Chains A and B, each alone.
Chain A
Amino acid sequence: MTSGASEPIEDYLDRLLLTLPGSPRQVRHTLAEVQEHLHDATAEGMAAGLAQHDAEIAAVRRIGPSYAITGRSPGFPRPNAALLRRTALAGSLVGGVALVAYGISAAISWVLAVVRGGTFVTAPFPPGSYTRADCARWLSGDPSATNCVAAMTADHVGDIVLQGFTAGFFGLLALLAFWTLRARWQDRGTLTALPVGSAEAAGAILALLVMVAGLGSGLDMEIVRRGQGAGQPLSIAVAALCAAAFFAVRLRRAVRTRAT
């Protein structure tokens, strides 16, 4: 069975398999022993009136943490293929969403630049910090610009959009890799190598932190610099909020699936 529903004994045996030391034969024998033990303890619990699921939970609690059987410190799990696969899945999900969110923020910045002007998205360099040659280069890139500052901000907005769309493209590739690998790595060892919802929780926290930072920076520029450069951090805040909502929905679904 490979559904996400809670199977206390199966999940415990998966965790144990990942950390058991010894030869393949020793690992197989210990797993078989512990499996029989857990089934005995479950039968005892059911004979005492517990439902099977509750009896399995009680059996797992009674046998204790997996490191009691392995003799290994819980703080130093052995690196293994399942853990690496689960970490790769978590990384591609969080990284992919982050890059796509950055791409979305670039699109928002572009819209803001059209609606409120380039200086709202990116603050121009202070006078004296650039040369005539810089101005000539910016103006050559945007012949429709009426002055150096307008050409400069148009150039910077273009850079923001280009970087954001490039990041978004790679983010989509990362998410494609995530969904492809997620469909391939359906074994419970991989699925339970990290706590359920850990990637989503980490992603949501990260996105919320970025949102708060972006919002604070945007508001600061709105107040202190009369809006110059506020557009980009505000765009990032909006995109980060979308990412946080995405992770929150996935986290809720993972927790509810786990509970059933």
Chain B
Amino acid sequence: MRSEKLKGNLDLLLLSVLASGPGHGYSIITRLRDRSAGAFDLPEGTVYPALHRLEQAGLLDSNWEVVAGRRRRIYRLNLAGERSLAEEAREWRSFSGSVSMVLGGST
């Protein structure tokens, strides 16, 4: 997928990945790639400013933990993030359904 299109929906995708459980940056990227069957393969560094932005917006919480002897910053979806995810997911489904209907009528 084109990276610009992906970046426009990155917040929603990250919230969705974290809805399945907390994780550090690398694991979030791995889960995003796995769940998209490799389709969402953007420069991995772009995920970090998005995670920081979501945390500043109050949708994620983070704390530092020692995991397998290494200090990791673990991100978690909080209640505000869950609400935002539900809202954005509903909007996305509505939007993509409408686009699909238009595309379906043109073929």
Give the B-binding residues of A (Cβ under 8 A).
26, 29-30, 32-34, 36-37, 39-41, 62-66, 68-71
Known: A33-B25, A37-B25, A40-B26. A68 touches B45 (CB 8 A): yes
What are 24 contact pairs spanning A and B, CB under 8 A? Answer: A30-B48, A30-B52, A32-B71, A33-B48, A34-B48, A36-B25, A36-B70, A37-B25, A37-B26, A37-B44, A41-B26, A41-B44, A63-B44, A64-B42, A64-B46, A65-B43, A65-B45, A66-B45, A68-B43, A68-B49, A69-B45, A69-B46, A69-B49, A71-B49
CB-CB < 8 A to B24: which residues of A?
33, 36
* Most chain B C-beta atoms within 10 Å of own C-beta, residue among A26, A30, A36, A70: A36
Give the A-binding residues of B (Cβ under 8 A).
24-26, 29, 42-46, 48-49, 52, 70-73
Are A64 and B43 neighbours in the complex by a CB distance under 8 Å?
Answer: yes
CB-CB < 8 A to A26: which residues of B?
52
Are A68 and B46 neighbours in the complex by a CB distance under 8 Å?
Answer: yes
Are B71 and A62 neighbours in the complex by a CB distance under 8 Å?
Answer: no
* Most chain A C-beta atoms within 10 Å of own C-beta, residue among B44, B46, B52: B44
Instruction: Out of A32, A36, A64, name the residue touching B45 (CB < 8 Å).
Output: A64
A-B pairs with lowest CB-CB distance, top 4: A64-B43, A68-B45, A40-B26, A69-B45
CB-CB < 8 A to B25: which residues of A?
33, 36-37
A29–B49 Cα gap in the complex (Å)? 12
Q: How far is the CB of A59 from chain B (nearest CB, A)?
A: 9
If A32-B73, A37-B26, A68-B43 are given as contacts, then 4 extra A-B residue pairs at C-beta distance below 8 Å, sorted by A number, are A33-B73, A36-B26, A63-B44, A71-B49
A41–B48 Cα gap in the complex (Å)? 15
CB-CB < 8 A to B71: which residues of A?
32, 36
CB-CB < 8 A to A65: which residues of B?
43, 45
A237–B53 Cα gap in the complex (Å)? 57
Q: How far is the CB of B25 from chain A (nearest CB, A)?
A: 5
Q: How far is the CB of A78 from chain B (nearest CB, A)?
A: 16
A33–B47 Cα gap in the complex (Å)? 11
Q: How far is the CB of A47 from chain B (nearest CB, A)?
A: 13
CB-CB < 8 A to B70: which residues of A?
36, 39
A63–B47 Cα gap in the complex (Å)? 9
CB-CB < 8 A to A36: which residues of B?
24-26, 70-72
A36–B73 Cα gap in the complex (Å)? 9
Known: A33-B73, A37-B26. A63 touches B45 (CB 8 A): yes
A92–B72 Cα gap in the complex (Å)? 43
Are A64 and B48 neighbours in the complex by a CB distance under 8 Å?
Answer: no
Nearest-CB residue, chain A, relative to B29: A37
Q: How far is the CB of B30 from chain A (nearest CB, A)?
A: 9
A32–B26 Cα gap in the complex (Å)? 12
CB-CB < 8 A to B43: which residues of A?
62-65, 68
Nearest-CB residue, chain A, relative to B49: A71
Are A29 and B45 neighbours in the complex by a CB distance under 8 Å?
Answer: no
A26–B73 Cα gap in the complex (Å)? 12
Q: How far is the CB of A8 from chain B (nearest CB, A)?
A: 14
CB-CB < 8 A to B48: which residues of A?
30, 33-34, 37, 69
A64–B43 Cα gap in the complex (Å)? 5
Nearest-CB residue, chain A, relative to B24: A36
